[in-house]
């Protein structure tokens, strides 16, 4: 249905008028076909899960706590689960009390509720560029003025954040908050250095800033390294969002927000208006998982599996990609950020990629301001190592073909062929991670 034929158009709220099912979305409808190697969805490899154990504990939950499991619960979420989630946070070095927690429908609901709580239309929010597509979606749906701070191999350029804050001050404005994913950033695949964490905390104090710390990948460092949590540095200035989607399973849709009490109270009221309460059935399943199963061993298994898959992807990229292409070198998480010469539009290229049986997420989705047309995100966590090699091969072949076409049309020295390997940003020489870089619309059904 095209916008100009929508008979309901005059009725929509401002925030919804320009939303439309994008072409990208239509393409994503086919990427789950078995012949396509998909690096698109940010999906954990649940093949690593012990399904019998989960089936058994799920049945136990219904048999032992059925009337609770099937009934409504409180809007903040079960206290028993919040106590467990505080323990999960502690493993990631982030302190919190159960009362500060609100159980959410995945990390995504956390990001949306925080936007709903703080963002009036036109309010400035700062975030890494690129940043999580669902974060862009949550902010867009509340009409935020999302501005990006470039990254390099050490994560967000806090010196450039400082400049952005000074520029805002000159405009007589302030940022409602700074959204950051310090560990194994999605989609950049880089982490914020320890020095910059301290700098970011100092900037928060100096500029009276609120930080939104997204800890989705905090436990997924390949070596088990735990970065210093912003919440441990400036707790009163940090709203923390966490998720069980990457350490347990996305299908239970369980995440949380940890926030100073007055903020948490408002968030509970907003969540009740949004969907009343988190489901007791899935809360009880996660609770039992955390209390009766070796969940830390499961996380270790995910780590080892993803380390192997990341190595496979990086080796294949090194072996197969043309010299004009750059990418980041993740030490954890689930993603590689890849930058191509400016003459190639990764949104336009996606249809061809799918014909060539490989899928990725075009870079524009990770920015609120149209950047990212020369970048794309590859997820290495879901596909098997064999499929990763195949998929990278197909993508490399496609890019070779595109570059040859550009050379034919523009000549070998054309600016369209210039890569960004030697520029600052998360593209630098393939050693760092993530570039600085228009909008296919939020979401493609997966994180």
332-391 binders of a second copy (CB under 8 A): none
**Of 145, 180, 207, 252, which lies in the binding site for a second copy, with binding defined by CB under 8 A?**
252
DSSP per residue, 393-446: HHHHHHHHHHHHHHHHHH-TT-GGG--STTSSSBTGGGTS-B-------S--S-
b/e sequence 171-195, b meaning 16+ C-beta within 10 Å: eeeebbbbbbbbbbbbbbbbbbbee
Reference 373, options 355, 361, 357, 356; nearest CA is: 361
Closest CA to 106 of 301, 257, 332: 257
Interface positions, 283-312, toward a second copy (CB under 8 A): 285
Residue 261 has a CB neighbour count (10 Å cut-off) of: 10
Q: In the complex, what is the shortest distance from the CB of residue 315 to a second copy, in angstroms, rounded to a whole number? A: 27
Residue numbers 182-221 binding a second copy by CB under 8 A: 210
Between 20 and 404, CB nearer to a second copy: 20
Q: Which lies closer to a second copy via its Cβ, residue 77 or residue 130?
A: 77
Token duo for residue 339: 């930058």
Query: Per CB under 8 A, which of residues 44..83 are in contact with a second copy?
Result: 44, 46-47, 49, 51-52, 54-56, 58-60, 62-63, 66-75
Asked if 441 interacts with a second copy (CB under 8 A), we say yes
User: Dihedrals φ, ψ of 330, to 5°?
Assistant: -65, 145
The CB-of-56 to a second copy minimum distance in angstroms stands at 7
Read off φ and ψ for residue 184, nearest 5 degrees: 50, 60
Region from 95-103, 300-308, 384-392, 435-443 binding a second copy, contact rule CB under 8 A: 435-443
Sequence-ordered list of residues with C-beta below 8 angstroms from that of 408, at least 6 positions apart, any chain:
none
Q: Work out which of 80, 83, 202, 265 binds a second copy, going by CB under 8 A.
A: 265
- Look at residues 145, 187, 136, 110 and name the one whose alpha carbon lies nearest to residue 376: 187
Is residue 277 within the footprint of a second copy (CB under 8 A)?
yes
Determine the Cα–Cα distance for residues 315 and 392; give it in Å rounded to an integer. Answer: 10
User: For residues 1-20, which are near a second copy according to CB under 8 A?
Assistant: 1, 5-9, 11-16, 19-20
CB of 104 to a second copy, least distance (A): 8
CB closer to a second copy out of 42 and 341: 42
Q: Which of residues 217-246 bind a second copy (CB under 8 A)?
A: 236, 245
Helices (H), 132-178: 133-140, 158-170
Count residues contacting a second copy (CB under 8 A)? 97
Question: What are the counts of helices (DSSP H) followed by strands (DSSP E) for the chain?
Answer: 14, 14
Binding to a second copy by residue 34, rule CB under 8 A? no
User: What residues have CB less than 8 Å from 371, skipping those under 6 apart?
Assistant: 129, 130, 148, 363, 364, 436, 437, 438
Residue 242, token pair as written in the block: 């966490």
Q: What CA–CA distance (Å, rounded) separates 344 from 402?
A: 7
Of 38, 131, 180, 282, the one binding a second copy (CB under 8 A) is 282
Which of 36, 161, 268, 310 is the binder for a second copy (CB under 8 A)?
268
Q: For the window 104-133, what string marks contact with a second copy as x by the rule CB under 8 A?
A: xxx-xx--x---xxxxx--x----------
Closest CB to a second copy among 60 and 154?
60
Nearer to a second copy, 49 or 305 (CB): 49
Cβ closest to a second copy, residue 215 vs residue 442: 442
Which listed residue (36, 81, 103, 138) binds a second copy by CB under 8 A? Answer: 138
Q: State the nearest-atom distance from the C-beta of 37 to a second copy, in Å.
A: 17
Q: Minimum Å distance from CB 207 to a second copy?
A: 13
Phi, psi of 146 (to 5 degrees): -85, 120
With contacts defined by CB under 8 A, name the span among 266-274, 305-313, 361-369, 400-408 that binds a second copy: 266-274
Nearest approach, Cβ of residue 446 and a second copy (Å): 5
Q: What is the DSSP letter of 369?
A: S
Residue pair 214/238 in contact (Cβ under 8 Å)? The answer is: no
For position 398 contacting a second copy by CB under 8 A, the verdict is: no
Name the one range near a second copy by CB under 8 A: 98-106, 154-162, 316-324, 420-428: 98-106
Q: How far does CA 317 lie from the centroid of its chain?
A: 22
Identity of the residue, 101 or 153, whose beta carbon is nearer to a second copy in the bound complex: 101
Residue selected from 90, 166, 173, 261 as contacting a second copy according to rule CB under 8 A: 261
Angle made by CA atoms 56, 60, 66, in degrees to the nearest 5: 140
């Amino acid at each position: 249905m095209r916008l100009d034929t929508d008979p309901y158009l005059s009725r929509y709220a401002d925030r919804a008028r320009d939303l439309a099912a994008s072409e990208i979305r239509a393409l994503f409808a086919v990427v789950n076909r078995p012949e396509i190697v998909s690096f698109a969805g940010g999906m954990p490899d649940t093949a690593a899960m012990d399904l019998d154990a989960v089936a058994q504990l799920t049945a136990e939950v219904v048999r032992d706590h059925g009337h609770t499991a099937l009934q409504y619960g409180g809007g903040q979420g079960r206290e028993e689960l919040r106590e467990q989630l505080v323990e999960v946070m502690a493993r990631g070095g982030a302190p919190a009390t159960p009362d500060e927690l609100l159980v959410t429908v995945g990390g995504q609901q956390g990001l949306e509720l925080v936007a709903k709580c703080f963002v009036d239309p036109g309010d400035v929010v700062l975030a890494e560029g690129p940043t999580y597509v669902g974060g862009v979606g949550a902010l867009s749906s509340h009409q935020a003025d999302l501005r990006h701070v470039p990254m390099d191999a050490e994560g967000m350029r806090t010196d450039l954040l400082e400049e952005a804050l000074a520029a805002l001050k000159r405009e007589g404005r302030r940022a409602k908050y700074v959204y950051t994913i310090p560990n194994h950033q999605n989609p950049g695949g880089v982490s914020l250095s320890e020095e910059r964490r301290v700098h970011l905390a100092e900037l928060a104090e100096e500029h009276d800033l609120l930080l939104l710390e997204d800890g989705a990948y905090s436990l997924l460092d390949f070596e088990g390294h735990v970065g210093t949590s912003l919440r441990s540095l400036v707790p009163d200035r940090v709203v923390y969002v966490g998720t069980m989607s990457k350490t347990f399973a996305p299908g239970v849709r369980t995440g949380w927000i940890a926030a100073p009490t007055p903020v948490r109270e408002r968030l509970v009221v907003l969540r009740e208006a949004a969907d009343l309460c988190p489901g007791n059935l899935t809360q009880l399943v996660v609770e039992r998982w955390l209390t009766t199963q070796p969940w830390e061993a499961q996380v270790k298994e995910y780590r080892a599996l993803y380390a192997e898959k990341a190595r496979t992807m990086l080796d294949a990229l090194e072996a197969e990609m043309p010299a004009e292409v750059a990418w980041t070198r993740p030490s954890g998480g689930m993603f590689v950020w890849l930058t191509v010469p400016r003459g190639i539009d990764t949104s336009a290229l996606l249809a061809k990629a799918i014909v060539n049986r490989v899928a990725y997420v075009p870079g524009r989705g990770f920015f609120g301001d149209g950047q990212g047309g020369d970048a794309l995100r590859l997820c290495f966590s879901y596909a098997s190592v064999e499929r990763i090699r195949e998929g990278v091969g197909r993508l490399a072949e496609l890019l070779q073909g595109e570059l040859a076409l550009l050379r034919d049309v523009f000549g070998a020295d054309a600016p369209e062929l210039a890569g960004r390997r030697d520029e600052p940003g998360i593209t630098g020489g393939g050693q760092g991670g993530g570039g600085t870089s228009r909008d296919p619309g939020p979401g493609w059904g997966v994180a």
